Structure 1
Amino acid sequence: MSRLRLFALLGCVSVFSALVIPAEAQVLRQRLIERIKAKSAATPPPDAGKLVPGGTQRSASYGASPDQTMEIYLPPHPDHAPIIVMVHGGGWRIGDKNMSGVVENKVKHWLPKGYVFVSIDYRMLPEAGVEVQARDVASGVAYVQKHVSEWGGDGGKLILMGHSAGEHLVALLSADPSRVRAAGGHDWSGTVVLDSAAYDVASVMNRKHPQLYDDAFGTDPAYWASLSPAQHIAPDAVPMMLVCALKRPDDSCGQSRDFAARLKAAGHAAQVVPENLKHGEVNSELGLPGEYTDKVDGFMSAHLGR
């Protein structure tokens, strides 16, 4: 069974676990989580040279944990290249920097344009709570900014990008960049956030929601608030493009519009891009030729000064 089918089955079980036979469903859910984790851990990174002629790659660690790692994809002859730092999703519990939907179409599209593409891993549940995950991503960003000149990149031209749970983490850092500064990093050019439904965690937790949110955020409203991007918009928030999927039942576009309105009210640049795609497609189809990728290119170029 492919990882894509495992992810889909896990989503079905997560909904089912709240309905008929929760004890049995929870056991099945945990088995699926462990199976996905095992498959992800065994996944090698895509070969940059096969994706893009002349492309190369390297691995790096930004912390002591084996999960604090990144894969760096380099264009031929990079020279002061702009950087994309990608943060994978997976419900704050599963997922991997090497998944094809996270990497392949993006590398194929942006390496020929001269970008360096970095995909990072971070510690996840149950070993690391969401606040620790956010700090890991902040440390990864700071590491890239510090070392990217060694790879032919320009640390002053960085776009942060994330999908799903990874999108929540990058939105949190972008609304309030203090975690990145605390890790030794500095400002970046902009952030592309790919389909989140957790800009305001309390609004999610106070209505019917999948089990994965309980796993991630628990029962403490103060913790919910501390991890809500919409509740922590700082004066130095980063410009954001909020991509949302129209083919999902929980109105992520409505949440994106609400978050964008709060950002704009605070004087920050924000735009919402609804796409007629499913949640996973917002990630996997980015980089394919078409209007969606063109919109993201336009945002990035505008904020990178290209």
Structure 2
Amino acid sequence: MGKRRAFLMAGAAWIALGLAGIAHAASGEARRPETRVVHDVAYGSDPGQRFDVYLPPSPHDAPVIFMVHGGAWTIGDKTNPGVVEDKAAYWLPKGYMLISVNYRMVPEAGPLEQANDVARALAAAQRLAASWGADPHRFVLMGHSAGAHLVALLGADPALLSAAGAARPRGVVSLDSAAMDVVQIMEFPRHPRLYDRAFGENPRDWAAASPYHRLRSGALPMLAVCSSRRFDACPQARRFAQKAATLGTRVDVLPQDLSHAEINRTLGQPSDYTARVSAFIDGLVAL
């Protein structure tokens, strides 16, 4: 119990530092000068329901990485440093398109509504994909932190995607979510308050927004990257993968000796980590 309490206190401090970094980071263009960007494509009436499209040179039937930012479900933006820069620099020259998505924040929209926003954004992007030179049938969902939870939730229960009019993506890359089992988090008496703000007090809402509890046969293939420096991220990822295996669904777990922020920020930089994530994605979108 003492170790668990220490973890929760450290987790709250880590999250506070992460949110402070997001809040104070410059929000300049996350692109190289030659990159073409389609800005603020609307998928709903709310100003938060927008995404940016980063196009590779001469795209033709390009596969698409559909990126969802983090921020504890309460803050963050599609242009925050670390969300796009190195990912675009790595994947655009490989012929991929990258889409970075905003969604409504707590308290305006809870996590399940946020997942529905992401699903609606995906449906809109798939409808427009051919006009940009992308293949609407070769999308891969990717998200970090809160965004990792949202894409894991959609991957666990693809009915959420079809309800929004989205076609089935090829798979999911979840970058260091420690919220795979929301019920377990919320039932523990002492947990960071950010979870209370996001998930509320109703156990039915916890289960409805929990990837572990929504996981079913027919879930999307998933790569769950987790920081081995955190207490609970990798154990939750492994338990999620074990349940997926009983349902005949592929979930690979990739522990990394990186901080939570580094798992997002360094993806795309030359490393074995980038190579392994890239190989997983390449395998998903291969024709």
Structure 1, unmatched stretches of 5+, are: 1-10, 17-28
The reply on whether 1:55 has 2:39 as its aligned counterpart is: no
Following superposition, the deviation at residue 13 of structure 1 comes to 11
Residue 201 of structure 2 is matched in structure 1 by 219
Residues 45, 71 of structure 1: 8 Å contact kept? no
What is the CA RMSD across the aligned residues, in angstroms? 2.2
Larger Rg: 1
Residue 217 of structure 2 is matched in structure 1 by 235
Residue 82 of structure 1 is matched in structure 2 by 63
1:187-227 superposed Cα distances (whole Å, 9 cap, x missing partner) = 11111000011111111112222110010111111111111
Give the letter for the 1:115 counterpart.
Y
Structure 2, unmatched stretches of 5+, are: 1-8
Residues 167, 194 of structure 1: 8 Å contact kept? yes
Aligned counterpart for 2:117 among listed residues 123, 127, 136: 136
Following superposition, the deviation at residue 298 of structure 1 comes to 0.8
Of structures 1 and 2, the one with the larger relative CO (CA 8 A, separation 6+) is 2
The reply on whether 1:45 has 2:29 as its aligned counterpart is: yes
C-alpha distance in 1 between matches for 2:158 and 2:37? 28
Following superposition, the deviation at residue 236 of structure 1 comes to 2.0
Aligned to 2:66, the other structure's residue is in SS state: strand
Residues 88, 165 of structure 1: 8 Å contact kept? yes
Aligned to 1:162, the other structure's residue is in SS state: strand
Show the 5 A alignment for 1:19-168: 43-46=27-30, 48-50=31-33, 54-59=34-39, 60-168=41-149
C-alpha distance in 2 between matches for 1:143 and 1:121? 13
**Residues 272 and 35 (structure 1), Cα distance of their counterparts in 2 relative to 1, 3 Å cut:** closer
Following superposition, the deviation at residue 34 of structure 1 comes to 10
Give the letter for the 1:213 counterpart.
Y
Residues 15, 211 of structure 1: 8 Å contact kept? no
C-alpha distance in 2 between matches for 1:224 and 1:189? 27
Residue 252 of structure 1 is matched in structure 2 by 233
Divergent runs of 4+, >4 A: 11-16, 32-37
Give the letter for the 1:64 counterpart.
S
- TM (norm. structure 1) is 0.85
Aligned to 1:102, the other structure's residue is in SS state: coil
Aligned counterpart for 1:298 among listed residues 270, 279, 285: 279
Residue 5 of structure 2 is matched in structure 1 by none
Give the letter for the 2:197 counterpart.
D
**Residues 255 and 35 (structure 1), Cα distance of their counterparts in 2 relative to 1, 3 Å cut:** closer
Aligned counterpart for 2:155 among listed residues 154, 167, 174: 174
The reply on whether 1:264 has 2:248 as its aligned counterpart is: no
Of all paired residues, the percent bearing the same amino acid is 44
C-alpha distance in 1 between matches for 2:251 and 2:178? 16
1:256-302 superposed Cα distances (whole Å, 9 cap, x missing partner) = 00000111110001100000001111100100111000101111111
